Amino acid sequence: GESEVQQLAKKIREKFNRYLDVVNRNKQVVEASYTAHLTSPLTAIQDCCTIPPSMMEFDGNFNTNVSRTISCDRLSTTVNSRAFNPGRDLNSVLADNLKSNPGIKWQYFSSEEGIFTVFPAHKFRCKGSYEHRSRPVYVSTVRPQSKHIVVIVDHGASVTETQLQIAKDAAQVILSAIDEHDKISVLTVADTVRTCSLDQCYKTFLSPATSETKRKMSTFVSSIKSSDSPTQHAVGFQKAFQLIRNTNNGTKLQGNTDMVIIYLSAGITSKDSSEDDKKSTLRVINEENSFLNNSVMILTYALMNEGVTGLKELAFLRDLAEQNSVKYGVPDRTALPVIKGSMMVLNQLSNLETTVGRFYTNLPNRMIDEAVFSLPFSDEMGDGLIMTVSKPCYFGNLLLGIVGVDVNLAYILEDVTYYQDSLGSYTFLIDNKGYTLMHPSLTRPYLLSEPPLHTDIIHYENIPKFELVRQNILSIPLGSQIITVPVNSSLSWHVNKLREVGKEAYNVSYAWKMVQDTSFILCVVVIQPEIPVKQLKNLNTVPSSKLLYHRLDLLGQPDACLHFKQLATLESPTVMLSAGSFSSPYEHLSQPETKRMVEHYTAYLSDNTRLIANPGLKFSVRNEVMATSHVTDEWMTQMERSSLNSYIVRRYIATPNGVLRIYPGSLMDKAFDPTRRQWYLHAVANPGLITFTGPYLDVGGAGYVVTISHTVHSSSAQMSSGHSVAVMGIDFTLRYFYKVLMDLLPVCNQDGGNKIRCFIMEDRGYLVAHPTLIDPKGHAPVEQQHITHKEPLVANDILNHPNFVKKNLCNSFSDRTVQRFYKFNTSLVGDLTNLVHGSHCSKYRLTRIPGTNAFVGIVNETCDSLAFCACSMVDRLCLNCHRMEQNECECPCECPLEVNECTGNLTNAESRNPSCEVHQEPMTFTAIDPSLQDALPQCINTQCNQRTESGDCFGVLDCEWCMVDSDGKTHLDKSYCAPQKECFGGIVGAKSPYVDDLGAIGDEVITLNMIKSAPVGPVAGGIMGCIMVLVLAVYAYRHQIHRRSHQHMSPLAAQEMSVRMSNLENDRDERDDDSHEDRGIISNTRFIAAVIERHAHSPERRRRYWGRSGTESDHGKAWNPCPGPSLTSGSNMPVAPQPCPYRHHRGHLTSPLSE
């Protein structure tokens, strides 16, 4: 492990070093310019807001319009005309840096006199002045020491509304100027003192100023109302010192921590005992500060009320700041001198950012000339997540300002994000406080728009004994450690990497290294025993067809057509290389692909002579492309002969390095990564099984689809040991699987699915086929429908079967929730039937479909049952968050995760839950030129209008059986078959869930909502095997139902097909011992299809508020109009054309003045 971690750390260090070089170079130029400025002044200003638009053009790296040749300035209100401004001298150096360093974003110089120079020039924040000196980046660079700050807001009777508003705005400015290196608390004082109630720990400690704490404190400040009691100044200071003392006792203090109390007050004392008030306040300060060796500084800001505030009040506030206790007859208790603060007057005209926002100038400047690395934050000018590397500039002892470089997080972390050494290993990156920057359970930074909430690594690596490892990681620069973990307390992604089933415990080895010159630590984790990765090998056979790259739009394919909404071709499959196939993934994602690049890839990949230079791909990619080419012929034959063609949307195969081969060949979105889709992850988690995923709305326009996927193993590997070298998939239409059920079990359709219902569900309890999913009057979305919701009676009963279903918990830190979800046991033998005798209304049977992760069930309901499962109608909140019973029926749901903001710890009960696995990434669709869209024919025409029987139409690609009139209620006299867009879901003229079909793209929210929920389904051959399994499964199932008569049935004997419901009823109490599941079925399905899946994740998982309003819960039939994406249960949100009313965006902390 140690050699790997050193190599990887070296790569990351080289990246950081490039940026450190850029920062140092810019710093030298600025310092040299200042020397020149002293003899011939440099003061020319180029205002960002007056640059003509003609000078700027759109740049993908910055995601906005910029000019790459000049820098421009934004000014603070206080800048004078003679201020030093080296911007024009810097242009050539900055432009040069940008050319030679990929991944670099904004470069800037921010001067102590208030000029902010940014390169490349860009129009931003043009309302009013711009104060960069009160931004966390500036503050933490010029005063890198940790600051412990208590802000006290006086809201007593003598403070007017106007004064209180100034105080509240000032407190917000202080909050927005600090970052997670500092600790903060906000108090309000009148007759008593109050702390922020949004976290219990704020009562006793200061909390690190993380984005979460700042958000909570900001909410608290906004809610301050004026009190009608006089202010007890002493009480406020008493509490402030107590918080500082508690925090110091609880943590080891670094030598250079600054402690500050900031008092925003009118300074008015009570009329009768004014002198006593002042004296007692200074006595408290004197006593308390002496316990802390007089190390606390006090800054006071006088809230002026014109004509009322007199010299007495100002003198009192000045005495507080200077701690003049002797003046009031309070003797000094310690020989150490006090650190004198200062008093400043604030009125309505004060610019708070320039005054209060620069409170740090009172703190000692220790002249620390070190690079400062920020944690990730959102880029306010462009898009995406960035980190800043910054350094202060000095001329002798004079601070000139800071230089900074914003670095794209996706670029810095690419080596960690796309790390692939062996199946049993992964990496994570943390900072020196233990905050997690990248971990396998976080989304790729390229797709994030919000930084991950500050979470300590201990929560992601939630296994016994990791605390010790964490201490070592944070204190030893290079090391490794092995711990033994019992299997029952392990993490889910560890179990997926464990390949020796049946062991009690396993070893996890951690190897780590501090990345030199930075504040980050890299760790490589190996789950032992480690198994070598098998790579696909190319046997140097010449592929039968030429290689076609997926960029059909660049290649000008003569026989291009549209596959629903995707640009496609039927000539051959196309190959897509996702970011993980490249040795520098970020460069691939941020630069446009050109025709020349595509030609270079194609030449290299199809070159058997090994003479053509590698265009920047990982070395194993060519073998993966060659090896997967052998499936091409099979697919083409299937396309000609298979009877299932009219139900298959697409076939595809994907390899661990992100090579995707798909047929019909289609243009894919560049950011698409097959190895992070649900169909891929599910197949890998169920090696050797056909894995069902879905239904979900296909991003390519095929409507709702269900995916089946299967791992491909090397011939020598045991299937159970799970070494998959690739995953294959097929996308089927949603109705296909229900059609299979009806064809094989006609009883399912006896009464239109009312009393007798058949269904297929996958191993997490989500339904793949069910009458309500295909009912035109269902009105509900068909994704994410759970057994607990649609069949509460069956669900209630199943939960009483020991060892068949387990309800699990996991902690999701990205949105601070605890997720509850189900896992069904796929090694079920025989079938399940009613266990609880009371439920006479309804009988059910459930059996596993052999060789898959799915179950098939039949319900016969003779009267209305009162079964109930707790499902919230309006959100994903669990009805009871205090306890979870294994046999209590409820829909998959979530509860708030309580994190102690001061320490970052969890409450005891929740700290034992494992952390959730990675989210499904949001899918994007590559839009093609509308003119092309009209000109090109559809690749596949299923001729819906010529299909007269519902049996010929049901489930066929792009066809709908229109049964209900456009009012959604009336049945048509004569049903007919029509293309999907004419009656989506079987309702004439129904709106399709796709945005562009609504003709209403005007609103941006809509398009985003629609596109979010879309899969791209590439797919692979060998379908017949899969269908055989389904046929045999239902056959085996029927065998059990009919086992009394022991007749040998031929699947073709139609008269035997109808299952007699009477058998189902009489069979209730019997258990079958001789269930003959055919073991031979599975052997010929080694090479089975898989299908691409997409998840409806909102680009950020939005924070929900936990206040509940009118949550009703009806009898198990709850439909939640906007489920939040669920981490573990394959979340596919309904694609709603309207934005969801139940979600709240995470509040960004900006001060009212930051605009």
User: CA angle 969-973-979, nearest 5°?
Assistant: 80
Nearest to 303 by CA among 441, 153, 429: 153
What residues have CB less than 8 Å from 918, skipping those under 6 apart? 440, 441, 442, 443, 493, 676, 681
CATH 3.40.605.10 fits 413-528, yes or no: no
Instruction: Write down the pLDDT at residue 37.
Output: 93
Peptide bond into 1125 cis (omega under 30): no
So what's the pLDDT on residue 867? Answer: 77
* CATH top-level class of 145-362: alpha beta
| DSSP line for 319-364 | HHHHT-TGGGTPPP--SSPP----EEEE-TT--HHHHGGGGGGGS-
Closest by CA position to 149, among listed 215, 217, 212: 217
Is residue 154 within 8 A of residue 266, CB to CB? The reply is: yes
Residue-level pLDDT at 847: 92
Residues 962 and 971 sit within 8 Å (Cβ to Cβ)? no
Q: pTM to 2 decimals? A: 0.79
Q: How far apart are CA 48 and CA 122, in angstroms?
A: 6
The architecture (CATH level 2) of 2-140+369-409 comes to: 2-Layer Sandwich (3.30)
Residue 519, both tokens: 């504040």
| Residue 104 in tokens | 């670099």
Rounded Cα–Cα distance for residues 340 and 334 (Å) = 15
What is the pLDDT, as a whole number, of residue 30?
A: 95
- Here the tokens at position 933 are 């869209």
* pLDDT attached to residue 343: 95
Cα separation, 916 vs 125, whole angstroms: 39
Question: Taking the domains of the chain in order of start, what are their residue ranges?
Answer: 2-140+369-409, 145-362, 413-528, 937-1012
How many angstroms from the chain centroid is the CA of residue 954?
37
Q: How far apart are CA 896 and CA 878, in angstroms?
A: 9
pLDDT of residue 1113: 38
Residue 982, phi-psi category: left (phi > 0), alpha (psi -120 to 50), beta (remainder): alpha
Query: With the CA atoms of 270, 273, 275 and 279 taken in that order, what torsion angle do they form, in degrees rounded to the nearest 10?
Result: -90
State the pLDDT at residue 660. 95
Low-confidence ranges of the chain (pLDDT < 50): 719-720, 722, 998-1155
Residue 541's pLDDT is what?
57
DSSP 63: T
pLDDT digits (tens, 9 = 90+) for 230-247: 999 999 999 999 999 999
Q: Do the domains at 2-140+369-409 and 145-362 have one common CATH topology?
A: no
Residue 112 confidence (pLDDT): 93
- State the residue for tokens 């003779």: 862
Scanning the structure block, which residue is given the tokens 């995916």?
Answer: 707
